[in-house]
Chains A and B, each alone.
Chain A
Amino acid sequence: MLIVKNLLRRKVRSFLSLMGIAIGVAAIVAFNAIGQGFKRGLDQYFNESGAQLLVVNKTVQDPAFSRVQKEEYDFVGALPGVAHVSITTFSLASPRGLKAQSFGMPAMPVYGRTPGDRMLDKFKGRVRGRVLEKDDEIMLGSITAENLKLEPGDTMQFFNRTFTVVGVHDSGVSFERIGAIVTNSVIQKQLGMGDASSVVFIYLKPGADWKDIKRAVEAQHPHLAAIRSDEFTVFYNQLDYIDWFVWIISLVSVMVGGLGILNTMLMSVSERTREIGTLRAVGWSRRRVLGLVLSEGTAISFAGGLVGLLAGWTGAEILIRWAPRDFLSTRYSPELFGVALLVAVALGFIGALYPAWQASRLSPIEALKYE
C-alpha cells in the first residue's frame, strides 16, 4: 500500500528512474542475445560440417591464423578410427562493388574447400548452379551474390585473378551466406601457406572414441589441439572477450540506472522527512522504515527490469533486422533474462541502501520538527 503510493506520488521521477534501470537491463539483454547469437553462428558453422572433431594450431590466437601442416593432417588421417579428414582454409576479400555487410565493412570471408570433398556435400540441394570443381571457380553465399548482383555464369575479380560464379548457395550459417567459397589451393597460394590447412575437420568411423583420437593427436603434436566441433566456442576462450565486452557495457548502463535510483530515493526520503518522523513516532522501528525505503527502490528496479527485458528483446530483434543484413542473430535463454532481472533488482536494492539507512537513522523528534 505505502510502497506503491509513495512511488506514484512523483510519477515522472519514478518513471524516469524506472527507465534508467530499464535501459540498462535492455542493454544487457540485447547485447548478450546478439553476442550469444554470434557464438551460435560459429557453433552452427562447425556443427553443420558433420565432423566430430576439429584440429587447430593452438599456439595462435585466432583459428583463422591456425596452420596445420600436411604431414600433421596426414598423420591424423592415418589414425585408426578416423574415416576422413577435410582440410579448410580461410581469408578475407574486398571485391570491387561489394557494399558494406559484415560488421559494416565492405569485406567478405572467403572459405577454402577441396573440390569433391564431403565439406561441400551440405550445399547440394541448397545451391543454384553447382558446387565448385576447380580453381578459378567460386560459389557465393546468397547475401554476397545479392550484394554484388551476381548470378551463376557471371565473373568477378579479386586476389588478382578472375573467378567464374558457378553457384549461389543458401547456407543455414550466416557466416557463409555473407561469404564465398573457393578451392583451398587458391587461398593457400594467396596466403603463401604451402599445403597447410587452417582448421582440419575430422570425421570418425562409427564406434570410434573421439578421446582416443584427441590423445593421439595432442601427444604426437603438442602444438595442436583436437576439440569437439560442438565445443569450439568453449575452447576458444578469446570469444569470452565478447561476453566481457558485452557485460562491461551493459553493467555501465545499468549502474547509471542504479545511480538514478539512489538519487530518486535520496530526494524521496528528504521530502518525506516529516512523514518518516510520524512513522517512527507511532512505533515504526528503524528496521521497518529501512525496509520501506528498500522496498520502494527494489520495486522501481523490478518494474524497470521487466520493462527492460521487453525493451531489450524488442531492441535486439530490430537491430538484427536493420543493421548488417541477416548477419547477426540472437539467442535468448532463461538464464539471460533471470540474470538481467537479478542485476536490476540488486542495483535497485543497493541504490536504495544509503537513502534507507539515512531514513532509518532519522530521530523522530528532529524529523517531526522538519519543515
Chain B
Amino acid sequence: MNDAAVRTLALAKHYEGGQIRALNGVTIDVPRGEVLCIMGPSGSGKSSFLHCVGALDVPTAGDVWLNGRSLAGERNLDAVRAREVGFIFQLHNLLPTLTSVENVEIPMMALGRGRANRRRRAEELLDLVGLGHRKHSIATKLSGGERQRVAIARALANEPALILADEPTGDVDSKTGEQIMETLLAVRKRTGATLILVTHNPRVAWDADRVMEMKDGQLRPLGTGADVRRSG
C-alpha cells in the first residue's frame, strides 16, 4: 500500500466498552529508518499505540501497516512480532534464570533457528551493545543498565525492521539512561531499523528525527529532536 515502515490509519483503541478511549483515530506514516519519539503524560495512550503497532494488541478500529502489509488481515501476529518487530520494555523483562546470551536467543527460538546459529548471533549482538564480557552472567546479576542493553540486543535478535521501545530509560538513573540511549541509537544506525520510542523524558527525545506528543488519544507534532532541545 505504501513504502513507509509503519502506517496507521484512523487507529482507535477503546477499553471498558468504549468508556476509556486510549487512541482516538491516530493516522501517521513513519518512514523507514526514522527515529520517532512519542512523548506525553502517563495514560495518554502512548503504550496503547506501541502495542497496536507492534501487533501485541488488536485495535478497536482502524488499521496498521508494517512494511506495506496490513495487520488487519494478518492471522499470525506471533510471526509478525517474531520477524518484524523488536520490543524493548521499561522493565527490560529478561528471563531471570537465563544468562545474557540465553535471553538474547529467546526470540530466535520463535523462528526455529538452530542452537549454534542462535548462540553465534546472540554473542555478536552482545558484543555490539558492549556486553561481550557479560555473556554468561545470569540476568539477575546484571546492573539495571546492563539488563537494558541485553534487552536491546534481544530486540535486534531477528533483525527486525522496526524497534519499539517503551520508556527504555524509565527504570534507570539519568547517566545510565544516557548510556542506554547512546547504545540504542548506535545500533539503530548500524542496522538501519526504524525506531519508535515512547517516553515522558524530553532528554530522550533530543536525538529523534521527529517528536510527537500523544494527548487525548491523538498525535500532535512537536518538531525535531533538536527543536525539543532548543525549546528546553
Given contacts A365-B57, A368-B89, contact A283 B110 (CB under 8 A): yes
Does A280 sit within 8 A of B, measured CB to CB? yes
Is the beta-carbon distance between B95 and A278 smaller than 8 angstroms? yes
Is the beta-carbon distance between A1 and B98 smaller than 8 angstroms? yes
Does A2 sit within 8 A of B, measured CB to CB? yes
Is the beta-carbon distance between A285 and B78 smaller than 8 angstroms? yes
Given contacts A274-B93, A285-B110, A365-B56, contact A280 B98 (CB under 8 A): no
Does A134 sit within 8 A of B, measured CB to CB? no
Q: Scoring A residues 241 to 285 as 1 if CB is less than 8 Å from chain B, else 0, what string do you get?
A: 000000000000000000000000000000000110111111111
Q: Which residues of B contact A286 (CB under 8 A)?
A: 78
Is the beta-carbon distance between A6 and B81 smaller than 8 angstroms? no
Is the beta-carbon distance between B87 and A281 smaller than 8 angstroms? yes
Give the residues from 88 to 112 in chain B that come closer than 8 angstroms, CB to CB, to chain A: 89, 93-98, 102, 106-107, 109-111
Q: Which residues of A contact B21 (CB under 8 A)?
A: none
The distance from the CB of A60 to the nearest CB of chain B, in whole angstroms, is: 64
Is the beta-carbon distance between B98 and A368 smaller than 8 angstroms? no
Q: Which residues of B contact A274 (CB under 8 A)?
A: 93
Does B154 sit within 8 A of A, measured CB to CB? yes
Does B79 sit within 8 A of A, measured CB to CB? yes
Is the beta-carbon distance between A279 and B106 smaller than 8 angstroms? yes
Option from B76, B82, B97 in Cβ contact (under 8 Å) with A282: B82
A274 to B83 Cα, complex, angstroms: 21
Does A122 sit within 8 A of B, measured CB to CB? no
A371 to B154 Cα, complex, angstroms: 22
Is the beta-carbon distance between A6 and B56 smaller than 8 angstroms? no
A286 to B110 Cα, complex, angstroms: 11
Q: Which residues of A contact B102 (CB under 8 A)?
A: 1
A233 to B51 Cα, complex, angstroms: 68
Q: Which residues of A contact B82 (CB under 8 A)?
A: 282-284
Is the beta-carbon distance between A282 and B110 smaller than 8 angstroms? yes
A9 to B54 Cα, complex, angstroms: 31
Q: Which residues of B contact A275 (CB under 8 A)?
A: 93, 95-96
Q: How many residues of B contact A (CB 8 A)?
A: 27
Does A5 sit within 8 A of B, measured CB to CB? yes
Interface size, A (range): 20 to 34
Is the beta-carbon distance between A283 and B111 smaller than 8 angstroms? yes
Is the beta-carbon distance between A284 and B95 smaller than 8 angstroms? no
A6 to B51 Cα, complex, angstroms: 28
Q: Which residue of B lies closest to A287 (CB)?
A: B78
Is the beta-carbon distance between A281 and B95 smaller than 8 angstroms? no
The distance from the CB of B35 to the nearest CB of chain A, in whole angstroms, is: 21
Q: Give the residue among A8, A281, A285, A365 with the most B Cβ atoms within 10 A.
A: A281
Q: Which residues of A contact B78 (CB under 8 A)?
A: 280, 283-286
A277 to B94 Cα, complex, angstroms: 11
Give the residues from 343 to 369 in chain A that come closer than 8 angstroms, CB to CB, to chain B: 364-365, 368
Q: Scoring B residues 179 to 215 as 1 if CB is less than 8 Å from chain A, else 0, what string do you get?
A: 0000000000000000000000000000000000000
Q: Which residues of A contact B57 (CB under 8 A)?
A: 365
Is the beta-carbon distance between A282 and B56 smaller than 8 angstroms? no
A278 to B111 Cα, complex, angstroms: 15
A: residues with CB less than 8 A from B are: 1-2, 5-6, 8-9, 274-275, 277-286, 288, 364-365, 368
